[in-house]
């Protein structure tokens, strides 16, 4: 079985992030092949899909840099890792802005639901709340992009954009597990029940969000609701099954709604393992598997 999200010192993660930064800007999108849309609806759905990705990057960047400033006094190394992590999201945001222009749309204002959601999230002050929420976002991001790699419109530039996102968000999952561990080590034990409630609430909300996103993006990514909701439940569950010390356990009842049993989560996801993270120091060495 793959080594799951085991703990490593912050210096390990910082070194990987520094190595990744050196090569970050060497990678460019190849947008030389024009894209032909089957219908205006398909193009609209693609713009919705990548606008949602853009907003997630923007939020990840802001929250990581904000926490970094507050963490600095007690753990400068962790603060440095948070900054470099935020910078990776900033780089994704730049790529997505360029990509959205090429798709023929650009960055659009958020809809009312998305806006109120991000507003609520931006108001979160507790570090453990922010890092847990972010970790769960990274997980559903990596899951969605890996599924879309198999089913979305087959075009080399779409593939390249999805591969970059799937590859890096997969690396961000164990990285954020590390952030969560470091933050929880300083958090009072009395905060745990509140965090467990948040974990269950977020899992259910993210599964429900799969329904809303189908209305907007399915014409482009072709992922059925059931597949997406089940994949979210599976990967959000696996995340903590292999990090038992954190004390989050997926709800049997919720798993059952998508036909999963706790035993189905026993096999670790190698893409988000520490070993995979180590390989991800060099982005060129990562092979992204579609789900
Ligand atoms: Fe990202
Ligand atoms: Fe990320």
In tens digits, the chain (291 residues) has pLDDT values of: 333 445 789 999 999 999 999 988 889 999 999 999 999 999 999 999 999 999 999 999 999 999 999 999 999 999 999 999 999 999 999 999 999 999 999 999 888 777 877 887 877 889 999 999 999 999 999 999 999 999 999 999 999 999 999 999 989 999 999 999 999 999 888 889 999 999 999 999 888 889 989 999 999 999 999 999 999 999 998 888 877 788 888 888 889 899 999 888 887 776 667 777 777 777 777 777 788
SS3 for 188?
coil
| Residue keyed to tokens 């780089």 | 91
* Distance, CA of 232 to CA of 142 (rounded, Å): 10
Question: Which pLDDT does position 162 carry in this prediction?
Answer: 97
Q: Give distance in angstroms: CA of 231 to centre of ligand 2.
A: 18
| Among candidate residues 267, 276, 202, 273, the one with its CA nearest the CA of residue 232 | 202
Q: Give distance in angstroms: CA of 60 to centre of ligand 1.
A: 7
Q: Give distance in angstroms: CA of 138 to centre of ligand 2.
A: 5
Question: Which pLDDT does position 2 carry in this prediction?
Answer: 39
Mark the residues whose beta carbon lies below 5 A from ion ligand 1. 57, 89, 92
Q: Give distance in angstroms: CA of 58 to centre of ligand 1.
A: 9
Identify which ligand lies nearest to the alpha carbon of 53: 1
Q: Give distance in angstroms: CA of 166 to centre of ligand 1.
A: 9
Identify which ligand lies nearest to the alpha carbon of 134: 2
Q: Give distance in angstroms: CA of 225 to centre of ligand 1.
A: 23
Q: Give distance in angstroms: CA of 149 to centre of ligand 1.
A: 16
Q: Give distance in angstroms: CA of 222 to centre of ligand 2.
A: 23
Identify which ligand lies nearest to the alpha carbon of 90: 1
Q: Give distance in angstroms: CA of 257 to centre of ligand 1.
A: 29
Yes or no: say if 265 and 237 are a contact pair by the CB < 8 Å rule. yes
Q: Give distance in angstroms: CA of 23 to centre of ligand 1.
A: 16
Single pTM value for the model = 0.92
Question: Which pLDDT does position 1 carry in this prediction?
Answer: 35
CA geometry: angle 254, 232, 67, nearest 5 deg: 110
Q: Give distance in angstroms: CA of 57 to centre of ligand 1.
A: 5
Q: Give distance in angstroms: CA of 62 to centre of ligand 1.
A: 12
Count the Cβ atoms, other than its own, within 10 Å of residue 66: 16
Q: Give distance in angstroms: CA of 274 to centre of ligand 2.
A: 16
Yes or no: say if 131 and 67 are a contact pair by the CB < 8 Å rule. yes
* Distance, CA of 119 to CA of 65 (rounded, Å): 17
Burial 6-31, CB ≥16 within 10 A → b, else e:
eeeebeebbebbeebeeeeeeeeeeb
Question: Which pLDDT does position 25 carry in this prediction?
Answer: 82
Question: Which pLDDT does position 191 carry in this prediction?
Answer: 87
Q: Give distance in angstroms: CA of 38 to centre of ligand 2.
A: 31
Provide φ and ψ at 264, rounded to 5°. -65, -15
Q: Give distance in angstroms: CA of 272 to centre of ligand 2.
A: 12
156-163: list long-range contacts, CB under 8 Å, 24+ apart. 156/30, 156/33, 157/29, 157/30, 157/31, 157/33, 157/35, 157/99, 157/102, 158/35, 158/46, 160/29, 160/30, 161/29, 161/50, 161/95, 161/96, 161/99, 163/288
| Among candidate residues 160, 206, 169, 193, the one with its CA nearest the CA of residue 57 | 169
Question: Which pLDDT does position 119 carry in this prediction?
Answer: 82
Q: Give distance in angstroms: CA of 253 to centre of ligand 1.
A: 31
Q: Give distance in angstroms: CA of 85 to centre of ligand 1.
A: 9
């Amino acid at each position: 079985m793959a080594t799951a999200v085991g703990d490593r010192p912050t210096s390990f993660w910082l070194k990987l992030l520094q190595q990744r930064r050196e090569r970050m800007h060497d990678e460019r999108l190849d947008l030389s092949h024009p894209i032909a849309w089957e219908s205006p609806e398909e193009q609209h759905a693609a713009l919705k899909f990548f606008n949602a990705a853009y907003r997630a990057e923007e939020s990840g960047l802001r929250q990581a840099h904000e926490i970094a400033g507050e963490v600095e006094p007690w753990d400068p190394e962790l603060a440095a890792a948070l900054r470099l992590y935020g910078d990776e999201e900033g780089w994704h945001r730049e790529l997505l802005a360029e990509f959205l222009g090429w798709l023929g749309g650009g960055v659009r204002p958020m809809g009312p639901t998305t806006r109120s959601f991000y507003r609520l999230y931006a108001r979160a002050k507790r570090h453990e709340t922010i890092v847990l929420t972010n970790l769960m976002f990274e997980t559903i991001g990596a899951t969605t992009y890996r599924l879309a790699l198999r089913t979305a419109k087959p075009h080399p530039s779409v593939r390249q954009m999805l591969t970059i996102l799937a590859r890096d968000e997969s690396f961000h999952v164990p990285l954020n597990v590390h952030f969560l561990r470091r933050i929880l080590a300083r958090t009072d034990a009395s905060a745990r029940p509140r965090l467990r409630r948040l974990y269950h609430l977020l899992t259910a909300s993210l599964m429900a969000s799969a329904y809303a996103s189908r209305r907007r993006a399915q014409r482009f990514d072709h992922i059925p609701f059931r597949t997406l909701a089940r994949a979210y439940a599976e990967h959000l569950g696996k995340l903590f099954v292999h990090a038992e010390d954190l004390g989050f356990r997926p709800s049997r009842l919720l798993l059952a709604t998508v036909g999963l049993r706790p035993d189905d989560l026993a096999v670790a996801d190698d893409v988000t393992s520490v070993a995979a993270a180590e390989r991800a120091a060099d982005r060129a060495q990562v092979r992204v598997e579609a789900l």
